[in-house]
């Protein structure tokens, strides 16, 4: 799977661990930074990852900051992106099944590498169930156009 990944300074260390683990699993990664723990602004990394996913150049996106919330707020400004912050397996599974989330945002403050990888595996392996949920996701797209 082709995955766009990015982080701010607070998520840098975890992003690097995740990037390496995902590459070892055979995923193709597009790393949009940051490249250090030097203070920076999370929207600068959320935007290129979100655009990459929205344009269909990557199958999914992963963003890491301190809580995952700021990255989700920024990424969701891009039409076609459905970014979800999650900390539990159930949240990740449901946001894929029900919301067709295409970007997962993670909080480095709350997750270690093993737990983050568990969440990512669920994110990458869970399909959108469609059905009644497809109607709801379509309504999200309509909001983006207004």
Catalytic sites, residue numbers: 65, 98
In the β-sheet with 83-85, what is the strand arrangement from edge to edge? Answer: 28-31, 2-7, 60-65, 103-107, 83-85
Q: Do 8 and 107 contact (CB within 8 A), yes or no?
A: no
Cα–Cα distance between 88 and 15 in angstroms, integer?
A: 18
Burial 61-96 (b: 16+ CB within 10 A, else e): bbbbbbbbebbbebbbebeebbbbbbbeeebbbbbb
- Alpha carbon 30 to its chain centroid, in Å, reads 13
Q: Do 79 and 47 contact (CB within 8 A), yes or no?
A: no
Q: Which two tokens stand for residue 130?
A: 């469609």
């Amino acid at each position: 799977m082709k995955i766009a990944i990015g982080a701010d300074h607070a998520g840098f260390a975890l992003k690097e661990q995740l990037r390496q683990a995902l590459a070892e699993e055979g995923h193709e990664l597009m790393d949009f930074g940051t490249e250090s723990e030097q203070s920076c602004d999370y929207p600068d990394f959320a935007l290129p990852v979100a655009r990459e996913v929205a344009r269909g150049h990557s199958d999914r996106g992963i963003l890491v900051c301190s809580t995952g919330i700021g990255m989700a707020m920024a990424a969701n400004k891009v039409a076609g992106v459905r970014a979800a912050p999650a900390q539990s397996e159930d949240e990740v599974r449901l946001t894929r099944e029900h919301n067709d989330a295409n970007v997962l945002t993670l909080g480095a403050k709350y997750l270690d590498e093993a737990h983050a990888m568990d969440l990512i595996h669920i994110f990458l392996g869970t399909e959108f169930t469609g059905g009644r949920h497809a109607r709801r996701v379509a309504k999200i797209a309509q909001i983006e156009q207004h």
